[in-house]
Amino acid sequence: MQSQDALLSKDELYLFNVGQLFQAYRTLGAHPIELDGQKGVRFAVWAPHAQSVGVTGDFNGWSEVGHSLVRFGTTGVWTGFIAEADVGSRYKYAIVDSSGANRLKADPFALQSELRPNTASIVNRIDGYEWHDRDWMERKKRNPPYDGPMLIYEVHLASWRMDAPEHFRTYEQLSIELVEYAQTMGYTHIELLPIMEHPLDRSWGYQTTGYYSATSRYGPPDGLKVLIDKCHQGGIGVLLDWVPGHFCKDDHGLRLFDGTALYEDEDYRRAEKPLWGTLAFDFGKPEVQSFLISDAVFWLDIYHFDGLRVDAIASMIDLHFDKPDELKTNNKYGTSEHLEALDFLRKLNETVFRHFPEALMIAEDSSSYPAVTSPTYLGGLGFNYKWNMGWMNDMLRYMETHPDQRSSHHSLITFSLMYAFSENYVLPLSHDEVVHGKRSMLHKMPGSYEEKFANLRLFYGYWMTHPGKKLLFMGGEFGQYDEWKDFAGLDWELLQYPLHDSMHRYVRHLNRVYLDTPSLWELDHNPEGFQWIDVNNAAQCILSFLRIGKKEQSFALSVCNFSNQSYPRYRIGVPSPGRYRHLLNSDEADYGGSGISIPKEVSAESVPMHGQPCSIDVPVPALSFGLWEKIG
């Protein structure tokens, strides 16, 4: 066995032990190296309470004892160099735990894992891929996202396209098909449901065992780099759904790693996540902080992801979240705030933005915790975006209401503007809303078959012009009728039917209009970018408002008729005289609508209306969205 000092840095392990090693993936795990002229693999694993640790794998016939590792001082890390191992070698750690029991554990820092149901780790290199996205990486540094368009396509790679059950597209295939599709549709970003290694397909990646392993379902890890590289070359950013809140209990994973609650909280009441059957991390433990924050940095550094959507914030910061009384605990102040989790999130965001100032850190948070997107130095959590779950819930409840009943629920579509600028929001229409009996977006809509499509086109128009960035789950763009089936591909065959094909064209056009209309996104997070024209017309269920851009007299007028009554003439107040161009009408025959004729341009008249000095008189079809732009 070589000298430990030749294998690991004391300084790096010190930083790991105090929660300050933020590239721990370069220190721990399995790394091919050359030592004293001999090639092999350096292994390092944190197991402070183990009696002994060995490495067993296909290079030693899966020996019960394996090659022995040596404890590195008081760091709790075991290390060793194995000349017989190489890139591609499969291995596990053979641990004699604190009680003397034998455990076979996958490497928490493994860079690759076997395809389920196998669970071994695989030696791989951390670097070596030749990237071709320099222009993209430089461009995003110059263009902060706040005053730009953001239109996110949320994707579950397994079921986006699937020829047969478990016949998944490879990363390389997706780098062609998915990228071309996203470009055609006009999406600015793709967000991937978790692609970290996980044992159960139907967990969608939310119950992870390999935090540093890109899942082998779609091929080797470099294939994922190809996919991201191609996205960037095509002008598309890539976000990763990241799950630091909990991990699954599978025996080969993190649970009781060295016979003790190492990664999970020692208090079982805090550790248990009964809703999901998982365990919460111990966010106050320094080594766990190094592990998790390094993982966030890893995906941004090694894989060039442009940002992370951080899952289930509400469950992390509330000690009582979805827990029965016997599992509820309080903090030292007697309240349910998880103080260590809050500190961890602040530290996470401070670290990420120190290394990647241009990153997107998006909180999936259903709680009312304040200042989620405020800087930590102002007392915030330090994210730069948060999902607007309140808007989503209110709007889906409203849209599911029959048009005849909507007038009594008018506040559901207006209340969001009371808080729209309190955080930097993303408006999510995500996978969570189209599973578990919730029905697809199209199927949620009331009325006849044709009315369902009209309602959905209207809803998408309102969504696209409401302040905030946008996210749509795959299938929503062509009116998937069945709710999401994670075990099968999307129902692409629906595009042979006229109304689904029309919906697809409408969404593509709506996306393009959004991208080409700066007033819809330049002041997304500024109250000056929004102005109601008519907010109080509950009786007719008609809303109108302005989205205002940075240039003088730059604005777009959104008109939404949520009723099933058409109005051949409807007067709408506007702030200035001149000509107004019709940008989009969801009721066009080409989109499956009634085809009521709408003039391409109108001139504002000096007729005061809705508190404005001028007005336009235009047709407003039933269940329709219309967008007008001042042009002169």
Q: Residue 527, preceding bond cis, omega within 30 degrees?
A: no
Two structure tokens written together for 193:
């449901």
Helices (H), 336-495: 339-355, 389-399, 411-414, 441-444, 449-465
Least Cα distance to 19 among 287, 257, 263 occurs for 287
Two structure tokens written together for 367:
């709680």
Give the C-alpha separation, 586 to 520, whole Å.
17
Residue 249 one-letter amino acid: K
Of 229, 306, 358, 364, the active-site residue reads 364
Give the C-alpha separation, 428 to 605, whole Å.
38
Least Cα distance to 289 among 213, 232, 340, 233 occurs for 340
Of 311, 358, 477, 483, the active-site residue reads 311
**E strand or H helix that includes residue 13:** helix 10-17
Give the C-alpha separation, 256 to 262, whole Å.
6
524 catalytically annotated: no
Residue 497 one-letter amino acid: Y
Q: Regarding beta strands 121-122 and 624-630, do their DSSP bridges make them parallel or antiparallel, or are they unpaired?
A: unpaired
* Terminal CA-CA length for the chain: 79
- Tokens 């290199």 correspond to 125
311 catalytically annotated: yes
- Tokens 């993936």 correspond to 25
Burial tier of 379 (Cβ tally within 10 Å: 0-12, 13-18, 19+): exposed
Rounded to 5°, the CA angle 537-541-545 comes to 65
Give the C-alpha separation, 78 to 195, whole Å.
28
Give the C-alpha separation, 362 to 311, whole Å.
9
Active site (catalytic) residues:
311, 364
